[in-house]
Amino acid sequence: MTINGTEATPARRRQDTSMYSQTTRGITVTVKSVYLEDQSSPADSHYVWAYRVRIENQGEETVQLLRRHWKITDAVGRIQEVKGSGVVGEQPTLHPGDNYEYTSGTPLNTPSGIMVGSYQMETTGGERFDIAVPAFSLDSPHQTMRLN
C-alpha cells in the first residue's frame, strides 16, 4: 500500500481489526482503517492512517459513483470537510453484483479521530442519490485513554 509515495510494510503499520459497514439502497460500504507508523511523527503531532473501502452493489440497478463527501474530526473536535469528484481519481460504475475497492489516506494533528461520509451515486436513468459511508475510528497507539 502506498500513501504519499511511501509504501507501508506490515511490520511498520498497526492494523485496526474493526470493520465498519453500512447499506443504503442495496449498496454496502465497508471500511477498514490502518495506522501508518512509518509515515507518522508523534513528536511533531503528525499521525497518518490509510483506509480501505469496499463498495458492493447488492441492488438491482447499475449505479455510478460521482462524488464523495467526508467529515474528518480529530480528537479535539476540529472538523475538516473534503468534497470532490469520484474517489482516487475514478468514478466507478457498479452493475448489480459488482464491487469496487480502493485505498486512500488521511493525516491528523491528533493521535485519534473519526471519519464519516457519503457518496453521490447516479443510476443509468439519471437519478442521483446519496449513500452513507459508516463512521469509522482512526486510532493510534499514541492515544492516551482517559475514563474521566
Written as nine digits, the cell of 83 is 468534497
Positive or negative, the CA dihedral 101, 131, 121, 73 is negative
| Per-residue DSSP letter, 41 | B
pTM of this structure? 0.84
In a structure prediction context, what are the per-residue pLDDT tens digits for the chain, which is 148 residues long? 333 333 333 333 444 457 999 999 999 999 999 999 999 999 999 999 999 999 999 999 999 999 999 999 999 999 999 999 999 999 999 999 999 999 999 999 999 999 999 999 999 999 999 999 999 999 998 876 554 4
3-class DSSP assignment, residue 146: coil
Check residue 86 and give its pLDDT: 97
* Bridge partners, 56 (sequence order): 28, 99
Check residue 145 and give its pLDDT: 57
CA-wise closest residue to 92 among 127, 68, 74: 68
Written as nine digits, the cell of 13 is 503499520
Residue 4 backbone zone (phi > 0: left; psi -120 to 50: alpha; other: beta): left
Written as nine digits, the cell of 56 is 458492493
CB atoms under 10 Å from CB of 126, counted, come to 6
Chain center to CA of 137 = 10
Rounded to whole angstroms, what are the CA distances from 112 to 21, 22, 35, 82, 119?
A: 20, 22, 10, 18, 24
